[in-house]
Amino acid sequence: RVLTMKACGHLPCATEDGIAVSLLANIGLPDEIETVEEYNLDGVGLFRTEFLFLESHERPSAQKQFEVYDKMASDLNGRPLVIRTFDLGGDKLPPFLLEEQSDAQGSLHLRGLRFSLAERDLLDEQLHAILRVAQTWDVRILLPMVIGRDDLEQAIATINRIAKKCGYLRTPPIGAMIETPAALYSLADILDLADFLALGTNDLTQYMLATDRDLAEGQDDCTALYPAVLRAIKQVVDVSEKHQCPVCICGEEAGDAEFACLLIGLGIREVSLSPGRAGMVRQALRGIKQRDAVETASQALCCHTPQQVRALLRDLYPSTA
Ligand code: PEP
Ligand code: MG
């Protein structure tokens, strides 16, 4: 009997042949934490913290951030909260920094972790807040736009320095986002240092394909279904498995039911998505067999266009056709 989306919402997320898949939430505002309960998710796989900075004419204090993160973690009541340090730079610039930095000599051209390392005071305040919450709750730190050993090492040293200064006994797991081509070519270095990986298909796809993720949204010009992107995902899964390092996929396309089926075939077991997509994905995964997904994935890796991959996926999971 095929269960409707609503009817299977409370059921475990697993394939028909019993492969369990962890479903987590991507959220960008504290209030969205309630969706974790609502959609029966396993926790938060990506909390984007940029809002704290982008809407503020003042630097958000460690105390203010602590209050936000602590409330969210306590609402999750033991489920994990992956907090991504601010991913700013490029077109995402806080008003207070624009006011402070009128010339181009500052950090404004940098993105992600390197921007954070150039704005050390901002990063220190945020890490103070996260580390404080991590003494009580299952909070994990995720670093955006990592490009290799050097930036990751600097961030970890900063985390350890702050933990030591505050006398904290517990340092939370530290994860690296894999979303730049440089990170793909630095996987071994990154895996030496990271406790977990989060693969961001939004940025990875745009940087691999030389497209603009915002302009090409929903179009086949910028999709993780491009075989080259699929091969990159497969490589990350395989290398991480050798290092016994968990990998979560957290790009928007993880919420596409067909794509989620393909991810299982590529070896992914953790998916972080927009909570509203969880029902579709849960229903799809419950309707496929892992061994069929593996077969489809191996064919997809040999395709030449996203359209060919899409056609294969419709055979694997016909109910979305
Ligand atoms: C990504 O790039 O895929 C990602 C999850 O991060 P963001 O969308 O916040 O850039
Ligand atoms: Mg990103």
**Rg of the chain's alpha carbons, rounded to an integer?**
20
Alpha-carbon distance values, 313 to 10, 236, 255 (Å):
26, 21, 15
The whole-angstrom distance between residue 234's C-alpha and the CA centroid of its chain comes to 16
| pLDDT for residue 188 | 98
| pLDDT for residue 126 | 98
Give the number of the atom of ligand 1 that is nearest the alpha carbon of residue 84.
9
Mean pLDDT for 226-242 is 98
| pLDDT for residue 89 | 87
Closest CA relative to residue 82, chosen from 48, 54, 112, 51: 48
pTM equals 0.95
DSSP-assigned beta bridge partners for residue 139: 81
Percent of the chain whose pLDDT exceeds 70: 95
- Which SS3 state, helix, strand or coil, does residue 102 take? coil
Closest CA relative to residue 51, chosen from 65, 37, 67: 65
**Distance (Å, whole) CA 77 – CA 97:** 35
pLDDT band at 320 (very low <50, low <70, confident <90, very high): very low
- Which SS3 state, helix, strand or coil, does residue 187 take? helix
As a residue count, the chain comes to 321
| pLDDT for residue 92 | 86
pLDDT band at 1 (very low <50, low <70, confident <90, very high): very low
- Which SS3 state, helix, strand or coil, does residue 90 take? coil
Is it the case that residue 251 has pLDDT exceeding 90?
yes
Closest CA relative to residue 156, chosen from 177, 142, 166: 142
| pLDDT for residue 104 | 56
Mean pLDDT for 266-270 is 98
| pLDDT for residue 6 | 63
Is it the case that residue 5 has pLDDT exceeding 90?
no
| pLDDT for residue 107 | 76
**Distance (Å, whole) CA 176 – CA 196:** 7
- For the chain, what is the mean pLDDT? 93
Percentages helix, strand, coil for the chain (3-state, rounded to 5) are 50, 15, 35
Query: Is there a binding annotation on residue 203?
Result: yes
CA of 178 to the centre of ligand 2 (A): 9
Mean pLDDT for 240-261 is 96
- Do 9 and 279 contact (CB within 8 A), yes or no? yes
| pLDDT for residue 172 | 98
Closest CA relative to residue 174, chosen from 203, 136, 144, 204: 144
**Distance (Å, whole) CA 26 – CA 44:** 6
pLDDT band at 65 (very low <50, low <70, confident <90, very high): very high
Question: Which one-letter amino acid corresponds to residue 217?
Answer: E
Establish whether residue 155 lines the binding site of ligand 1, counting it when its CB lies within 6 angstroms of any ligand atom: no
- Residue ranges with strand state E in 189-242: 196-199
Query: Which one is catalytic: 13, 245, 248, 250?
Result: 250
pLDDT band at 103 (very low <50, low <70, confident <90, very high): low
Tokens of 198: 């989060």
**Distance (Å, whole) CA 196 – CA 270:** 11
- Which SS3 state, helix, strand or coil, does residue 251 take? coil
Query: Is there a binding annotation on residue 84?
Result: yes
Tokens of 35: 């969706």
When comparing pLDDT for 196 and 90, which is higher?
A: 196
| pLDDT for residue 191 | 98
**Distance (Å, whole) CA 172 – CA 48:** 17
Is it the case that residue 102 has pLDDT exceeding 70?
no
Decide if 250 is catalytic.
yes
Is it the case that residue 217 has pLDDT exceeding 80?
no
When comparing pLDDT for 99 and 223, which is higher?
A: 223
CA of 319 to the centre of ligand 2 (A): 30
pLDDT band at 4 (very low <50, low <70, confident <90, very high): low
